[in-house]
Structure 1
Amino acid sequence: MTGTPAHQVTIDDLGTPLTDVTFVVVDLETTGGSAHTDAITEIGAVRVRGGVVLGEFGTLVDPGRDIPPYVSVLTGITSTMVATAPRIESVLPHFLEFARGAVLVAHNAPFDLGFLKAACAATGLAWPPAASVDTAVLARRLLTRDEVPNCKLGTLAPFFSSSTTPTHRALDDARATVDVLHGLFERLGPLGVTSLEELVGLTRQVDPQRRRKRHLAAHVPHGPGVYVFRGPGDEALYVGTSTDLRARVRSYFTAGEQRSRMTEMVGLAQRVEALPCAHDLEASVRELRLIAQHKPRYNKRSRFPERLLWVRLTDEAFPRLSVVRRVVPGPGTVLGPFADRRAADAAVAAVHEALALRQCSGRLVPSASHPACALAGMGRCGAPCTGAQSADEYAATAAVLTAAVHADPGRLCAPLLGRVDRLAADGRFEDAAVLRDRIAVLVRALRRRQRLAQLAEVPELTLARPDGAGGWALAVVRRGRLVAAGVAVRGAPVRAYLQQLKTTAETVAGPEGELAASVEETELVLRWMEKPGTRLVEVTGTLACRTPGTGPLRGFLALVDAGRAARDPFADGRSLGTRARPDRVTGGRTGHGGPAALASRV
């Protein structure tokens, strides 16, 4: 007999036990059914944990408008009753403090949470990133038509023998929802749902094939590390990293993962390989290396580090700019790396706007003479091919770019910024915007190059960060590459352990020693080094930033970013997966406004 292997659930598999979770059950009364055009008139909430009520919150709210008569008939709340009540901007901070750290629960949650989110947005308050549970959806999953004709609160409350009868008043309905929630929890035991993660997953549609593969996470340990989903031929399908391997891998088999690519990947996966690491930096570096090595089909980023592009000033008497894929360490002027050709070309165009470097591809010698090109006639080239410019004069022009790459981009960028201002003053706003964006690409490339060089030039350095348990997370870095990682636990001799790390350290070099192979790794090390609390233990060589660098241009980049956000305030790079469920429940509501929308909630 064949089938899915049996798996005995252990304590480690349970996730966050429901008995340890604090829930805040909330109910609202409003002037209508639209969160965008109507307002809250009453908030009621009950805070519970482990079946025990910890506190209650209830208040009327002045909506700032008259309450429609049909709403007053339904809820019993009149305009006179809320005339002296606080406004929502005074009530919301107190409610958010009451709900801090809890999972929000509501009956037809999109209605109540939608009003609260809209009120937060209108008053400038941040909506907390809390998990939520919809008792209406949960009831639809757990109850049959033979038990209850519908899943309205007024039907479920007597079914579960609630001590409070729903009355269309916020606190009463919240109390009744607490009893319904506890009644539904009693139905979860036979289903094996004992954790918050499984509860949230139960209220959303999950591919049964994905749920059946939960046993793949059985052997995955807790702690930081890298996980590899492997397919039928044991090929790497996807590589990821997490500070808690077990929790992250288990999330792929719940409704929390709704990306269509990941759903397809989990369907193909046959096993999960877990690679524990000393700390988060080692995990991130190993992830990069594994992605570059295996090029998993379901990873989108970092699969082809060899495809990064660089802009190099060629080594000849009259150098020119060349876009290349390989850069051998050594003397020379190199700008980048760039993720694609478009960005590299934008940086090259910006340099040519500022400097009269030749753009022809032939190799020139000082003694040769050639006819001038069109760029020379436009003043965009010094025409060294005609003998109009000596090698020393041309070298002085190229030295401006070299200085910008290594230390000071002021002489390179100043004429460009001045040209942007002149174009804008002449009303040529589109031309000014194009040049401004090119300058931004150039400045970011200069900044990235300087940061990489800062670390890549150091023969060896040792970093330490508190591990949160009284010990130290240690990292040994050589030429910008992580070569050893470990954790000196509390009470252990750190210096002795560090010496052992150095003794066993190995440098992972890219093919042919190319810089591009370790760019992302070096940047990971830089970010880890710059985190608050990181200590520099030992340095061999010099770790320093050349001045002034791109610091004086930070204001310019901020203006560019602000302008881009203003042009497209709703920009969102996230993809909308085809398997994602909409954030509302349509089955329990007959419309978007009026009495029907309110009546359907009870």
Structure 2
Amino acid sequence: MADQRLSLPGAHVQGTIDDVGTLLAHTTFVIVDLETTGSRSDGAGITEIGAVKVRGGEVLGEFATLVNPRMPIPPHITLLTGITQAMVATAPDLDAALPAFLEFAALDGDATALVAHNAPFDVGFLKAACGAQGHDWPHPTVVDTLPLARRLVTRDEVRNHKLGTLAGFFGAAEQPTHRALDDARATVGVLHGLLERLGSHEIDTLEELRHFRTPRTSAQRRKRHLADDVPEAPGVYVFTDAKGDTLYVGKSSNLRRRVRSYFTAAETRGRIREMISLVEGVTPIVCATSLEAEVRELRLIAERKPPYNRRSRNPGRAAWLKLTRESYPRLSVVRAVRDDDAPYIGPFRSSREAELAREALHHAIPLRQCTHRFSPSRPISACVLAQLGRCGAPCDGSESPQEYAAHAAAAATAMTDDATPVVEALSGHIARLATDLRYEEAALFRDRRAAFVAGAARSQRLAALAAIPQLVAAQPTGTAWEVHVVRYGRLAGSGMMRRGADPHAFVEALVATAETVFPGPGPSPRATPGEMECVLRWLGSPGIRLIDAASPWTCPVNGAEKHHELTDWQRDSAYD
């Protein structure tokens, strides 16, 4: 495969490393207001829908319709809104008005936000209407101007935060009249006034607006200059304290924008605000590709264990299940993989999950569960498990070394090659328990089966990648190709090749300068499982072209991956 040329198909745009939000100037705001027959969405009906669509301060369109609620309009509602029973008698029903509004709003776009004053009221009615009419609610980003105004406009400036009061304060072109379109137009004026005030809080993206809760701290205001020299490029950033010790490590497709967000009011996490008070420096590390940034972040966190990274809080919590190498092998939960040529499965997120997988194997294969040392020439008394038929009792000579070796070989095969016998044994037992209405016991064995399948599948995927001395792959982006060199599961080299460049020369140079990696023991010998899972996710993403593989990349035909439907556990990122 080394001679395979890189073909250049149509542009493929890859997602960013993390979502830093859409600029507010590029966001389409759909401002909506409803008039209804009452205050509860589960008992009242919609009588009018009004909406205005704006972007960059420009009105893109308006929508207004009366709606026949198919129920009486209470007199006090008519007095408030001026909408009478006669006015809605010939209006469209909700089954016609709602699809028209959803088509106008187009709320399923990432750069679109639904805006309302006291949004839970209007959004509650719209969601209930979608449910009643069989429409999927698009789950848009919702901006509520009421709590936003309470944070940005003080009581010294306005007597209350009602829509009419705010519209007058901001000089909105339209004043609310309790008619849907008029109120939506008034909310547009209020929204624009609030967005102007957000500028002083350095909120300029929709993502920052969504998370805006409280004003910036003094430390956030004082230290914003730390982001000034950070480049607008993809990579990793490292926050350090006065001693130069690492406090936090992160990654982004735009380092400057991401680092800058930590010093705005959008950053409300208590621990991060606490961290900002200690920060004295920011070190940016520009990376060629998003995968390189993701891997570098993992490596730095593992190496430096920064106190404000969640992944650093329990660095040793991953567990493995090992079949020991001794005369009478047994299953043992361990924290690390050793160079002992023993079969391992995992890693598991906790010792409890590893214990469940061990119980699954013990149910299917009668391995000893004791930790005693014995031999044919020095037998010991059998335990109660032998009396229950769950162990052949090699300890007292009831089972010969050859018979026990066959059980150990079956366990090793189930862990590394063919998981079917264990899965079938557990599935049959679960079915029998369910037939006997013993559902709690059946659920326990289901969890054991799921733990075994998840751990075995994970280790088999890792081992398959770790067995390849060198793998080179590429993925097209909008203007270039991401090219990576992976050796024994470790990311050894990364580069961006511009379109039109000589692919053979580029790959040859990248391979020549890639990190030297040697083989090692276990499913993840030269990289952490987390790094290898990142590489595997990238290799499985759309548009990947395999350029070179020094050896076949295969997983067992009857391996645990074949039974992945038996578990709903996260298989791609089951650990930090």
Q: How far 1:302 moved relative to its partner?
A: 5.6
Q: After superposition, where does 1:23-102 map in structure 2 within 5 Å?
A: 23-88=29-94, 90-100=96-106, 101-102=111-112
In structure 2, distance between residues paired with 1:55 and 1:175: 11
Letter in 2 for 1:24: V
Q: After superposition, where does 1:307-326 map in structure 2 within 5 Å?
A: 307-326=317-336
The number of residue pairs the alignment matches comes to 544
- Report the counterpart of residue 137 of structure 1 in structure 2: 148
Name which of structure 1's ranges 303-312 and 226-235 shifts more when overlaid on structure 2: 303-312
Q: How far 1:443 moved relative to its partner?
A: 0.9
- Report the counterpart of residue 128 of structure 1 in structure 2: 139
- Report the counterpart of residue 488 of structure 1 in structure 2: 497
Does residue 208 in structure 1 map to residue 214 in structure 2?
no
Alpha-carbon contact 1:483-1:505 (below 8 Å) kept = yes
Q: Deviations over 1:113-134 (max 9, x none)?
A: 3433444455452333425251
- Report the counterpart of residue 532 of structure 1 in structure 2: 542
Does residue 497 in structure 1 map to residue 506 in structure 2?
yes
Pick closer, same or farther for the CA change 1:464–1:88 going to 2, 3 Å: farther
- Report the counterpart of residue 464 of structure 2 in structure 1: 454
- Report the counterpart of residue 174 of structure 2 in structure 1: 164
Pick closer, same or farther for the CA change 1:322–1:88 going to 2, 3 Å: same
Letter in 1 for 2:265: A
In structure 2, distance between residues paired with 1:196 and 1:480: 38
Letter in 2 for 1:525: V
Q: Deviations over 1:380-410 (max 9, x none)?
A: 1011122222222212222222222222111
Q: How far 1:238 moved relative to its partner?
A: 1.3
In structure 2, distance between residues paired with 1:213 and 1:31: 51
In structure 2, distance between residues paired with 1:422 and 1:145: 71
In structure 1, distance between residues paired with 2:28 and 2:102: 14
Does residue 380 in structure 1 map to residue 386 in structure 2?
no
SS at match of 1:82: helix
Q: How far 1:551 moved relative to its partner?
A: 4.3
In structure 2, distance between residues paired with 1:33 and 1:232: 55
Give the alignment partner of residue 476 of structure 1, picking from 464, 473, 485: 485
Q: How far 1:15 moved relative to its partner?
A: 8.9
Q: How far 1:227 moved relative to its partner?
A: 1.3
Give the alignment partner of residue 552 of structure 2, picking from 538, 542, 562: 542
Pick closer, same or farther for the CA change 1:192–1:290 going to 2, 3 Å: closer
Pick closer, same or farther for the CA change 1:197–1:37 going to 2, 3 Å: same
- Report the counterpart of residue 374 of structure 2 in structure 1: 364
In structure 2, distance between residues paired with 1:515 and 1:522: 10
Does residue 108 in structure 1 map to residue 118 in structure 2?
yes
In structure 2, distance between residues paired with 1:259 and 1:216: 19
Does residue 270 in structure 1 map to residue 276 in structure 2?
no
SS at match of 2:87: coil
- Report the counterpart of residue 574 of structure 1 in structure 2: none
Pick closer, same or farther for the CA change 1:528–1:347 going to 2, 3 Å: same
Runs (5+) with no aligned partner, structure 1: 1-13, 562-602
Letter in 1 for 2:441: D
Alpha-carbon contact 1:107-1:153 (below 8 Å) kept = yes
SS at match of 2:274: helix
SS at match of 2:309: coil
What is the percentage of aligned positions where both structures have the same residue?
A: 50
Alpha-carbon contact 1:511-1:517 (below 8 Å) kept = no
Q: How far 1:143 moved relative to its partner?
A: 6.6
In structure 2, distance between residues paired with 1:255 and 1:96: 32
Pick closer, same or farther for the CA change 1:508–1:82 going to 2, 3 Å: farther
In structure 1, distance between residues paired with 2:192 and 2:533: 49
Q: After superposition, where does 1:181-580 map in structure 2 within 5 Å?
A: 181-182=191-192, 191=200, 195-196=204-205, 200=209, 204-209=213-218, 210-301=220-311, 306-329=316-339, 331-469=341-479, 471-507=480-516, 515=525, 518-558=528-568
Alpha-carbon contact 1:134-1:203 (below 8 Å) kept = no
In structure 1, distance between residues paired with 2:151 and 2:262: 24
Q: How far 1:557 moved relative to its partner?
A: 2.2
Letter in 2 for 1:490: R
Alpha-carbon contact 2:306-2:312 (below 8 Å) kept = no
Alpha-carbon contact 2:374-2:380 (below 8 Å) kept = no
In structure 1, distance between residues paired with 2:446 and 2:210: 47
Alpha-carbon contact 1:292-1:304 (below 8 Å) kept = no
SS at match of 1:292: helix
Q: How far 1:494 moved relative to its partner?
A: 2.1
Does residue 173 in structure 1 map to residue 220 in structure 2?
no
Pick closer, same or farther for the CA change 1:426–1:229 going to 2, 3 Å: same
Pick closer, same or farther for the CA change 1:371–1:500 going to 2, 3 Å: same
Alpha-carbon contact 1:167-1:173 (below 8 Å) kept = yes
Pick closer, same or farther for the CA change 1:349–1:202 going to 2, 3 Å: closer
Letter in 1 for 2:436: D
Q: How far 1:68 moved relative to its partner?
A: 2.5
Alpha-carbon contact 1:456-1:480 (below 8 Å) kept = yes
In structure 1, distance between residues paired with 2:258 and 2:386: 60
Alpha-carbon contact 2:211-2:266 (below 8 Å) kept = no
- Report the counterpart of residue 581 of structure 1 in structure 2: none
SS at match of 2:367: coil
SS at match of 1:301: helix
Pick closer, same or farther for the CA change 1:387–1:139 going to 2, 3 Å: closer
Pick closer, same or farther for the CA change 1:32–1:219 going to 2, 3 Å: farther
Q: How far 1:411 moved relative to its partner?
A: 1.0
In structure 2, distance between residues paired with 1:74 and 1:92: 23
Name which of structure 1's ranges 549-558 and 367-376 shifts more when overlaid on structure 2: 549-558
- Report the counterpart of residue 598 of structure 1 in structure 2: none
Q: How far 1:183 moved relative to its partner?
A: 5.0
Q: How far 1:534 moved relative to its partner?
A: 1.2
Pick closer, same or farther for the CA change 1:494–1:121 going to 2, 3 Å: farther
SS at match of 1:393: helix
Alpha-carbon contact 2:174-2:186 (below 8 Å) kept = yes
Letter in 2 for 1:386: D
Q: Deviations over 1:234-274 (max 9, x none)?
A: 21111111222223222222333332222222222222221
In structure 2, distance between residues paired with 1:350 and 1:290: 36
Q: How far 1:79 moved relative to its partner?
A: 4.1
Q: How far 1:140 moved relative to its partner?
A: 6.4
In structure 1, distance between residues paired with 2:295 and 2:50: 48
In structure 2, distance between residues paired with 1:37 and 1:516: 62
In structure 1, distance between residues paired with 2:539 and 2:208: 39
Alpha-carbon contact 2:321-2:333 (below 8 Å) kept = yes
Q: Deviations over 1:260-294 (max 9, x none)?
A: 22222222222222111111111111011000111
Task: State TM-score, norm by structure 1.
Answer: 0.82
SS at match of 2:115: strand
Q: Deviations over 1:187-245 (max 9, x none)?
A: 677x4868345983896322332344322222222232111121232211111112222
In structure 1, distance between residues paired with 2:201 and 2:357: 58
Pick closer, same or farther for the CA change 1:175–1:386 going to 2, 3 Å: same
Pick closer, same or farther for the CA change 1:509–1:106 going to 2, 3 Å: farther
In structure 2, distance between residues paired with 1:511 and 1:332: 13
